[in-house]
Amino acid sequence: MSVQMSLRARAAQLGKPRKATYGVLIVFVLGSLFPFYWSFLVASRDNGMLTERIPPLLPGGNFFANAARVFDTVPFWRALGNSVLVSGTVTLTTVLFSSLAGFAFAKLRFRGRNGLFVFIVVTLAVPTQLGIIPLFIAMSKLGWAGGLQSVIVPNLVTAFGVFWMRQYTVDALPYELIEAARVDGCSMIRIFWNVCLPAVRPAAAILAMFTFMTSWNDFLWPLVVLDAGNPTVQVALEKLQSGYYVDYSLVLAGTTLATIPILIVFLLLGRQIVAGIMQGAVKG
Amino acid sequence: MTSKGLTTVTTFRKGLVLALGITMTAVSAAACGGDGDVPAAAGPNEHVELTLATFTEFGYEALIPEYERLHPNIKITHRKTGQGGPYAQDMMTKLAAGSGLADVQAVEEGHLSDILSKSSKFNDLSKIGPSSVQPDRWLSWKYDAGKDKNGKLIGYGTDIGPLAMCYRKDLLAAAGLPSDSEAVKPLFATWDSYFAAGAQYTAKTGKAWFDSAAQNFNSMVNQLPVGYLDTSDKLTVENNQGIKDAWAKVTDAVAKGESAKLTAFSNEWNSGFKQSAFATKACPAWMLGVIKEQAGPDNAGKWAVTAAFPGGGGNWGGSYLTVPAQSKHPREAAELAAWLTAPEQQIKAFEAKGNFPSQAKALESPQLLNATDAYFGGAKIGELFAEQAKKVSKPQYKGPNDGQIQENVSSPALQSVEQGASAADGWQRLIDGAKKLTR
Amino acid sequence: MTVTDKTAPERRATTRQHAAARPGLRDRLARWDVKVSPYLYVAPFFIVFAIVGMFPLLYTAYVSLFSWKAGDDNPDFIGLDNFKELFSDTQFWHALENTVSIFLLSSVPQLIIAVLLAAVLTLRLRGATSWRVGILLPYAASLVALGIIFANLFGPRYGLVNGVLQTLGLSPVDWQANRFASHVAIAIMVNWRWTGYNALIVLAAMQAIPKELHEAALIDGAGTVRRFTHVTLPLLKPTLIFVTITSTIGGLQIFTEPKLFDAMPGSNNGGSTHQFQTVTLYLYQTAFENFNLGYASAIAWVLFLIIVVIALINYFVTGRLAGRRG
């Protein structure tokens, strides 16, 4: 009994971090934060900082002045609106369609399942650099070039998303749950919505974070295809880097501003990556 | 189950067929975008929308509304890209796709040889442009460089980058060299005198004379009567004595420690200005702003510029405005390009962004001639660079891939010599790389 | 079981509705639902692919058979000559070596650290969300900032790393000129950007492992390491396969980091002697600087096939390594 007790005590200790653990994490996070802090430092000072032998460690007082120059130089708010619309739409549809496809590939039986799935994974291996020319031809033929749909439609759902959601769903969603719902007379879509989606929430949250960020930072394709007056944030900010030398305090003030929405999305979605939804489900 | 499965498969096949269909039409469209008939000009009151694509700073921001006021039926959309790299890719994509280029498309001097070799994709401005625009508007070398082999005028010149020499007065004086802007000129008279002065400077101070080998080599090659390719587009490198000599002189200077080995525009090059890593710098007009920014206020008054350049004159940078064959309003576009590149407008662009004009009349305007720069000891930079611009000899013929040979073959080959490879190995790299490109 | 509880009343309602219809119809609808739904669910991907993915593939396949310079009016059909040329193109093989070298230097340590980092992040940390978001941040950093920061770190002359090496009495390294050193520097850049990203993916999968399994193993007397290799790893198999395959693909298509690393801004040369030019940089340069679309398309297709082969090998290796579960 006492042995049993000590095991229980150890089980209760499972997952409790040690102090050293926090130390390791702090190192990682400081390394991650450094470029952001450094960007902010430059954005709050002037260009001279870049060639200083020993760069200053504290921000200067120019950030708002530099930010104001960003707003004067580029149509920031319009670009921000476009980016929110594009990245928001793409994130929603990618997560929805990828989860649906992932559910089908992981848990439903249908003819051609394996072949179609392998096909999707293989499309990931296609180098994307050249695609921009034929894609532009296709968009021109469709009459979409210039409009926001030209940057939304190609990213409505990605092979990456389908692959990820399928891999996650395989283990995260027990067949017992699906069977139970079937016995209760649930339709397929209802099983997806009420059983599968809650079970794959952490994976969907991560996919949403990645998709939003990738879409938000996408540059070359939007630059080529969008109309000059209707840019996304990254396309608009690119104009700050003009001339024979770059005013980095201006450029980094712009990128700092453009990072804020990503951070908001991260914080909102980061909470969704939580354990415990399915715990107990297997037992029951 | 089977029948349902089949439905999906057929939709999938339909998608395939659709995609194939687009492929074929698009491929044929891309392949057939050649010389067509130029559409007639729109009527004076017909509403016309034009797009103008530029990169970095052309100084056109205030000019565009002015043109729209003068031509109420014209609406201009300005597509401005910050950096040359993405701009070039954008242009290349749309050239290959056969659609999407702007009505007036700016082209940088370095990309001009590529554009001239695809001249069927562009309008001949000498035919569709306003007849009032005559060759004598521009410096003759600038105008001539905008024509293809058959004399078709592809671009109207905008700005130029005439070369002078920038140098550190304090460092030269400390090394016992002349530093006064007149007295220093003999050092920069020929490449031989330039490298000899460098050898002297380096021997005395142990420090580098110039920033990187590539920029000197490029200037030397550009001064030759025949460049990397001859007028029949044959590669000359192996038998071009001028290029061989230039290579020998530059690599010899590198061997003597005259090069600071800093790749132009790299991060370390930027730092090099502040660290006083080199004493002289080949200096196109637009380089003054770069030096000012990178060397910073601490070095104010130390840098100077003089109206001399080894081997005569030279040019680095500057652009052209073209009208692609894709344009639906080529005549209106040519008219806009002609207006923007008129001396009156280019002087305004000079005042706005410092772009040095390529127009003969603009070079005589008081706004330009009276321009001075306090950072460079109050030098009369407008007059100085106008003088340098007139020293440029007739343009060298630039065959297809000329720009790539310079940027992606000879510059890296010199960089490899600076990084420790032998001059002979570097030369072999240059020949092999140039052959591969022009095959 | 909150899931089922919450939906129970709704379900009852729908069942009643269906009960009113003819019994056969409901059955048929249900069977139809089971058969057709999977195809509907996977359809969006294939529709998008048919509109925007298929055409570029066919286009590059078509163009690769021509000597096609961008803007050519009548490109010459040359069959497989581009591919033949590619096999004797030393620059291509050199670039492939660089790619594989950078890939190995980055992916292997990156995945190991990612798994360990994920294991740490599954612990009951205070402020869990912040840590998770924190490690993903590098992926969101601006490329402009990265370019300058890494240039400042690895600059051969004024760089911080060399400064530290010299202070320690070691000789400085020419991170640009030395082939292997440049690969190491680029790999560090890659790992910095992507480790947190992979860690988060693995973390999500670890979250799905029922705690009871760990408790059971603990009661069986399994230590931390044994629990990790016998409980965690086998259950992570699908995710590890995912991470391995996407890292293989991403690693072999590596483009941004070597491009940013070049001292010549915007250059696709991959250094003065192409010492760190990757295959995608070579492809990009061939297409967008040299305008040789036909040859670039051939490079793209050969790279695609190489990636598929290597990804397959990695698929089987990962399956073996993690696959105690059969």
Nearest CA in chain B to C45: B12
Average pLDDT, chain B: 89
Nearest CB partner across the interface for C74, out of B31, B118, B437: B31
Confidence band, pLDDT 50/70/90 cuts, at residue B424: very high
Q: Are C280 and A129 in contact (CB under 8 A)?
A: yes
Which of B11, B28, B94, B103 should be substituted to probe chain A, the one whose Cβ sees the most A Cβ atoms within 10 Å?
A: B94
Nearest CA in chain B to A238: B82
Q: Which residues of B touch A47 (CB under 8 A)?
A: 293
Stated pTM of the model = 0.89
The whole-number mean pLDDT for each consecutive block of 10 residues of chain C, a chain of 326 residues, reads: 36 44 75 91 95 91 91 87 95 97 96 92 84 88 86 88 92 94 96 93 86 82 82 88 94 94 90 96 93 94 95 87 55
Give the model confidence (pLDDT) of A176-206 as tens digits.
999 999 888 889 999 999 999 999 999 999 9
- Cα gap A145→B374, rounded to integer Å: 48
Q: Which of residues 40-59 of A touch B (CB under 8 A)?
A: 47-48, 50-51
Inter-chain contact C151–B411, Cβ cutoff 8 Å?
no
- Cα gap C298→C80, rounded to integer Å: 9
Nearest CB partner across the interface for B4, out of C39, C46, C58: C39
Q: Which of B260, B276, B257 is nearest to B204 (CA)?
A: B257
Q: Which of residues 31-50 of C touch A (CB under 8 A)?
A: 33-35, 37-39, 41-42, 44-46, 48-49
Q: Which residues of A touch B273 (CB under 8 A)?
A: 51
Beta-carbon contacts of residue B214 (< 8 Å; ≥ 6 apart): B263, B264, B410, B411, B414, B415
Beta-carbon contacts of residue A86 (< 8 Å; ≥ 6 apart): A148, A151, A152, A215, A232
User: Would an 8 Å CB–CB cutoff place C56 in contact with chain A?
Assistant: yes
Q: Which residues of C touch A259 (CB under 8 A)?
A: 140-142
Confidence band, pLDDT 50/70/90 cuts, at residue B5: very low
- Cα gap B408→B401, rounded to integer Å: 10
Inter-chain contact B81–A141, Cβ cutoff 8 Å?
no
User: Would an 8 Å CB–CB cutoff place A134 in contact with chain B?
Assistant: yes
Give the model confidence (pLDDT) of B116-152 as tens digits.
988 999 999 999 999 999 999 999 999 999 999 899 9
Give the model confidence (pLDDT) of B10-37 as tens digits.
444 444 454 445 444 444 444 333 344 5
Q: Which residue has the higher pLDDT, C73 or B374?
A: B374
Give the model confidence (pLDDT) of A83-93 as tens digits.
999 999 999 99
Give the model confidence (pLDDT) of C146-184 as tens digits.
888 898 889 988 888 999 999 999 999 999 999 999 999
User: Would an 8 Å CB–CB cutoff place C16 in contact with chain B?
Assistant: no
Q: Are C281 and C255 in contact (CB under 8 A)?
A: yes
Kindly list the distances between the CA atom of residue C182 and the CA atoms of A263, B270, C107, C150, C238, in Å, as whole numbers in the listed order.
32, 21, 16, 12, 34
Beta-carbon contacts of residue B403 (< 8 Å; ≥ 6 apart): B110, B111, B112, B113, B114
Inter-chain contact A240–B82, Cβ cutoff 8 Å?
yes
CA distance A87 to chain B (A): 22
Nearest CB partner across the interface for C54, out of B19, B120, B121: B19
- Cα gap B9→B14, rounded to integer Å: 9
CA distance C97 to chain A (A): 17
CA distance C112 to chain B (A): 33
Inter-chain contact C55–A116, Cβ cutoff 8 Å?
no
Inter-chain contact A274–C207, Cβ cutoff 8 Å?
yes
Beta strands in B82-220 (DSSP E): 104-108, 155-168, 208-210
Inter-chain contact C246–A14, Cβ cutoff 8 Å?
no
Q: Which of B193, B142, B123, B98 is nearest to B336 (CA)?
A: B123
User: Would an 8 Å CB–CB cutoff place B64 in contact with chain A?
Assistant: no
pLDDT confidence of residue A12: 61
**How many cross-chain Cβ pairs, A to B, lie less than 8 Å apart?**
96
Give the model confidence (pLDDT) of B253-275 as tens digits.
999 999 999 999 888 998 899 89
Q: Which helix (H) or strand (E) holds B317?
A: strand B315-322
Inter-chain contact C123–A195, Cβ cutoff 8 Å?
no
Q: Which residues of A touch B55 (CB under 8 A)?
A: 242
pLDDT confidence of residue C266: 84
User: Would an 8 Å CB–CB cutoff place B266 in contact with chain A?
Assistant: no
User: Would an 8 Å CB–CB cutoff place B269 in contact with chain A?
Assistant: no
Q: What is the mean pLDDT of residues B380-400?
A: 91
User: Would an 8 Å CB–CB cutoff place B13 in contact with chain A?
Assistant: no
Q: Which residues pair with B105 in a beta bridge?
A: B53, B322
Q: Which residues of A touch C134 (CB under 8 A)?
A: 25, 28-29, 32-33
Inter-chain contact A245–B290, Cβ cutoff 8 Å?
yes
- Cα gap C54→C250, rounded to integer Å: 20
Place of tokens 């700073």: B57
- Please report the ipTM that was assigned to this predicted complex: 0.88
CA distance B406 to chain C (A): 12
Length of chain B: 439
Inter-chain contact B15–C157, Cβ cutoff 8 Å?
no
Q: Which residues of B touch C91 (CB under 8 A)?
A: 436
Q: What share of chain A is helix, strand, coil (3-state, %, to 5)?
A: 70, 0, 25
Inter-chain contact B2–A111, Cβ cutoff 8 Å?
yes
Give the model confidence (pLDDT) of B348-358 as tens digits.
999 999 899 99
Q: Which residues of C touch A263 (CB under 8 A)?
A: 133, 140
The pLDDT of residue B64 is above 70? yes
